[in-house]
Amino acid sequence: MISLVRPAAIDDAAVIARIHVATWRSAYRGLLPDDFLASLSEDHYEERWKRTLSESAARVYVAETPEGVVGFASGGRERAGEDHYSGELYAIYILRQAQGRGHGRGLVQAVAAGLRELELEDMIVWVLRDNAAARRFYERLGGVFVRTQPITIGSALLQEVSYGWKSLADIRH
């Protein structure tokens, strides 16, 4: 499937929100409480993404096919004071039916280019420990395990792990 990866525009907020909610509901079923997943609101996320796209220094990209936008990713300066990393891949979500077709790699490449524009030279990403598919994706891209920490999402106490690239040039495509 041919994909164009481009910077997201404010007009993309609704489709990003739709993908955000749909992918959380599919990727995190069984990992997060059902009532939490059911409570996710496209309207809430659309407002949040409009703010991010209009105000933030974050770099946001979408993967678009002839059928429409199938995924998005965002990144920017590392947010939690993690030692040895200045850049962060904040989020990357691809609709289930579009996964495995190179969209994720293209989005990671776009975020890495955005981090370079911010004069950042490395990157970290956080992922739920039990999200095996996402962990394999980062490992295939050359991400190296950094550490584990607890995270609370809704009423669930989970573990998340981080993967890092000491140089953006180390990202395998």
Residue 50: the pLDDT is 97
The structural domains of the chain, with segments of one domain joined by +, span: 4-125
Q: What pLDDT shows up at residue 1?
A: 56
Strands (E) in 52-155, as ranges, are 59-65, 68-77, 87-94, 123-128, 144-153
Q: Does domain 4-125 have CATH number 3.40.630.30?
A: yes
State the pLDDT at residue 66. Answer: 94
Which residues of the chain are under the pLDDT cut of 70? 1-2
pLDDT confidence of residue 22: 97
Distance (Å, whole) CA 77 – CA 38: 31
Identify the burial level of 57 via C-beta atoms within 10 angstroms of its C-beta, where 0-12 means exposed, 13-18 middle and 19 or more buried.
exposed
* pLDDT value at residue 2: 64
Task: Give the count of beta carbons closer than 10 Å to the beta carbon of residue 110.
Answer: 21
State the pLDDT at residue 55. Answer: 87
